[in-house]
Amino acid sequence: MTNLNTLRSREQQTAWILLTPALLLLLFVFAYPILRAFWLSVFTRNLGTELQPVFSGLENYVRMAGDGRFWQSLWATTVFTTASVISELLLGLGVALVLNQAFFGRGIVRTIAIIPWALPTSLIGLAWAWIFNDQFGVVNDILRRLGLIGTGINWLGDPVLAMIAVVFADVWKTTPFISILLLAGLQSISQDLYEAYSVDGATAWQSFRNITLPLLLPQILIAVLFRFAQAFGIFDLIAVMTGGGPGGATEVVSLYIYSTVMRYLDFGYGAALVVVTFLILIAAVAIASFLLNRYRAKTSGAI
C-alpha cells in the first residue's frame, strides 16, 4: 500500500512538472490581459485627462449602465450569436450525417465542404458584401431573373436585412467547423448499436433519437461552446460587411469596444466594456454547459 501511494505521488509530481510550462503560458497569455483590463477599468483615461490614468473607482461601470449604445450593441450581439449558432448547429448536424454515409467521392466532398471555414474571414466578408450589394449583387440579380423583385433590395442598408445578411455569411463560413466536430463524433459510434436496434424493428428516426443524439451530445456541447464564444466576439466579418451599420443595427460589442478605444481613445471605459463582456460570456458559457450536461445526463439515463 505504501509503495502504491509513493508511485501515485511520483506520478502526480511528474504530471505537475509537465503541466507547469503550459500553465505558465496560459497565465501569461490569458490571465494577464484580463487582470490588466480589470485594473484599467477602475481608471479614467481619455482625452479629457490628457490620456493620463485618473482613479475613478466604479465610475466607468456606472456610466455603462446608462449607455444606450452599449445595450444596443449587446442586443445585436445576442441576436447574431443566437441566430448563427442555432443555424450552424442544425445545418452542421445535417452535413455531418450526410458526410458520414458511404458514397462515391466522399473524400472529395469532405475536402470541398471544409473550404469555407479555411478561407480568411475578412475575405469572406468582402465577398458577401458584394454578393448582397443592392446594385451589382448576385442575390438581387438572381431574384430579378426569377421575377421575384423589380428593383434591387438594399440588403446592407436595412437594419433587419443587414442582420440577416451577416448571419447568413457567418453560417456559410463556420458551418463546416461544426460539421467536422460532429462528424468525428459520428464516426466514433459503433455500427453494431444500429444493427442491434434495427433488429428490434427501430426506424431511422428512432435510431437517431435514441442512439445518435445521446452519444453525440459531448461533441454537440463542445461545438456549441466553441461557436458561442467565437460568435459572441465576432469582429472582422461584420466590420468588413457593414461596419456596424446601418444605424448601429449590426454593431456588436466588439465593434463598440474597438470604436471606444481606437477612435475615441477612451481607454478606461473601453477596459470596463471588455471586463463586462468577458463576465457575460463566462456566465453564458457556464449556464449553457450546465443545461447541456444536465440534458445529457437525463438522456443517458433514459437509454
| 3-class secondary structure per residue, 196-262 | HHHHCCCCHHHHHHHHHHHHHHHHHHHHHHHHHHHHHCCCHHHHHHCCCCCCCCCCCHHHHHHHHHH
| Whole-number pLDDT of residue 200 | 74
| Whole-number pLDDT of residue 300 | 58
Lowest mean pLDDT among 18-32, 105-119, 219-233: 18-32
Nearest in space to 178 (alpha carbons), one of 282, 84, 101, 241 = 84
- In tens, the pLDDT along 151-201 reads 888 999 999 999 999 999 999 999 999 999 899 888 888 887 877 877 777
- In tens, the pLDDT along 201-216 reads 777 788 888 888 888 8
- Give the length of the chain: 303
**Where does the pLDDT of residue 2 fall: very low under 50, low under 70, confident under 90, or very high at 90 and above?**
low
Lowest mean pLDDT among 17-26, 60-69, 273-282: 17-26
| Whole-number pLDDT of residue 3 | 61
* Cβ partners under 8 Å of residue 46, min gap 6: 264, 265, 266, 267, 268, 269
pTM of the model: 0.86
Nearest in space to 261 (alpha carbons), one of 290, 300, 235, 283 = 235
Rounded distance between C-alpha atoms, residue 116 and residue 181, angstroms: 15
Rounded distance between C-alpha atoms, residue 15 and residue 9, angstroms: 10
> Which string of DSSP letters, residue by residue, matches 135-166?
TT-HHHHHHHHTTS-SS---GGGSHHHHHHHH
* Cβ partners under 8 Å of residue 170, min gap 6: 80, 84, 88, 231, 234, 237
192-224: burial string, b at 16+ Cβ within 10 Å, e else: eebeeeeeeebeeeebeebbbebbbbebbbbbb
31-53: burial string, b at 16+ Cβ within 10 Å, e else: eeeeeebeebbbbbbbeeeeeee
Rounded distance between C-alpha atoms, residue 131 and residue 264, angstroms: 32
Residue with cell 442598408: 157
pLDDT at 296 over 80: no
Q: DSSP character for 1?
A: -
**Where does the pLDDT of residue 301 fall: very low under 50, low under 70, confident under 90, or very high at 90 and above?**
low
Rounded distance between C-alpha atoms, residue 194 and residue 209, angstroms: 12
pLDDT at 130 over 90: yes
Bridge-partner residues for 237, per DSSP? none
* Cβ partners under 8 Å of residue 276, min gap 6: 61, 64
| Whole-number pLDDT of residue 103 | 80
